[in-house]
Each structure stands twice: as structure tokens, then as C-alpha cells.
Amino acid sequence: MSDLTADLYSPPQTLFIAGASGDTGRAVLRLAESRVPTIRALTRSETKRSMLHEAGADEVVVDDLLNPDDLETALTDVDAIISTVGSTLGDIRSADRFVDGAGTRALVDTAVSADVDTFCMESAIGVGTGSASPLATVFNTIIGPIQAAKADAEAAIRKAPFRHVIIQPGVLTNGPRTDTVTVAETDSDANLWGTISRADVARVLLGALVTPAATNKTFEVTSTPQPMASASNTAWQLPAHGNNTDKIPMSVASTS
């Protein structure tokens, strides 16, 4: 297994989690609690404040990315952002703007002004104009407007001056961590398809903060089915937890 973690970036002192009250956001929060000194969690619901504190947030910001009140203050002294915001099928019928697009762009613009170092986004397989797996085609058919909004946000992130990592997971499940993650850069034409647990996605997002090999790249991410035997192996690493170094084993798929 090749090790891409020899020269890790320093972990953030203050991590901002957007979409913290969602399923993936809570998984990131629980994982980061013992690894990041200060976690600032964003939710648009005041009723989620106590739950987020109990889950490990040091600070909770209540604001709506589609109609933000004071994102500038919310991002003061923030080193890194993990965004797990997402729309629902119901939003397609009722909304003319999506948090995946306009909301994330507002967060990106404010992050640039606040000199945030790193921005990690949870997107979805099939976002963008590259070749697509059958799963990506299904996503683009069923939730096309949301996929388009995510593509708009991805473009804004890539143009911004901060370091970024974009993760495009397959079908999300509420299963446990598996340590059977497969990644593929979106320009590899590997066209991954399958499922992945939110617990695994949380580990990939948090590991991306400190893994130099992930810098300014976009990855499709799945867990099942497993890739062919020709896939190579690597490992990212989570921010340190005391003296423990917790690696994230991965298979790297490509067409070569």
C-alpha cells in the first residue's frame, strides 16, 4: 500500500461544518469532536442547537445559507469548512433556489473574504459534464436540478483561492464504517457506481483536510461493489487523536 500521508497538513484549529444537523454532517461532527480543537456547527433550525452541542459542537450558528444573516461573523477565525448541505426531492417541486447551489456559493464567497484555508464539499456522483456511470445517469435524471446546482457550486469552489477537495459519493446509507472505500478522480473516467455509508463519507471528508494528495481534486467515492483487482491501494489519514494515527484505507480505481 502506498502511503500518501508522510507530509500531512496541520489540522484546523477551528472547523466550520455546514449542514451539521443532517445525517452526514452529524457523522462528521462526531468524528471531528476529539480531533479538532474548536468545531463551529451551522444549522438553519434553532431547535437543533442543543442536539449539536450534545454531538460535540463547541459553537452553534443558526443561519440560512439561502438567506444568510451574518456569515461574516460565523466564519471569523475559521481555518477549514466541511459542507454537507443538501436539498431533498421535495425541494425540486417547491424551491426555485437550492442550498446546494446558491447557498454554497454564498458560503464560498464569504469564505474567500474570511481567508479560510480549506473548503471540503460533499457533492454527488454524476455532477459535472464528464463521462457518467449508470448510477450517475440515474441521479441526473431524477434530481437533475439539484445536480445542476451542485455543479454550479463546484465551479465556484474551483475558482476560489483556497485549497479545496470535492467528494462525490454514491448512494448514501446509514450503515457503519466499512474501511472498504474506493475513490477515483473524476477525470479518470473510472465512472464509479454503488453505495457508501455516511460514516465512511465523514472519514473521507475529515481526512481530506490534512491529506496533501487530495488538494484541489474531485473524487467519486463508493464502498460497494468493490473494484476489480487491478485497482491500486493507498491510505489517507484522519487528524491525529492523541497519539493515535487513524488511517483511511482506500482502493484507487482508474481506467488505465
Least confident of 51-55, 128-132, 170-174, 230-234: 128-132
Question: What topology does CATH give the domain 14-252?
Answer: Rossmann fold (3.40.50)
Bridging pattern class, strands 80-83 and 14-18: parallel
- Can you tell me the mean pLDDT for 112-121? 98
* E strands, 160-202, in order: 163-169, 171-173, 181-185, 195-197
Q: In this predicted model, what pLDDT tens digit does every residue of 28-71 receive, in sequence order?
A: 999 999 999 999 999 999 999 999 999 999 999 999 999 999 99
| Residue 85 β-bridge partners | none
- Residue 97 above 50 pLDDT? yes
Could you tell me the residue ranges of all domains in the chain? 14-252
Q: In this predicted model, what pLDDT tens digit does every residue of 211-253 receive, in sequence order?
A: 999 999 999 999 987 665 557 888 899 998 766 668 998 998 8
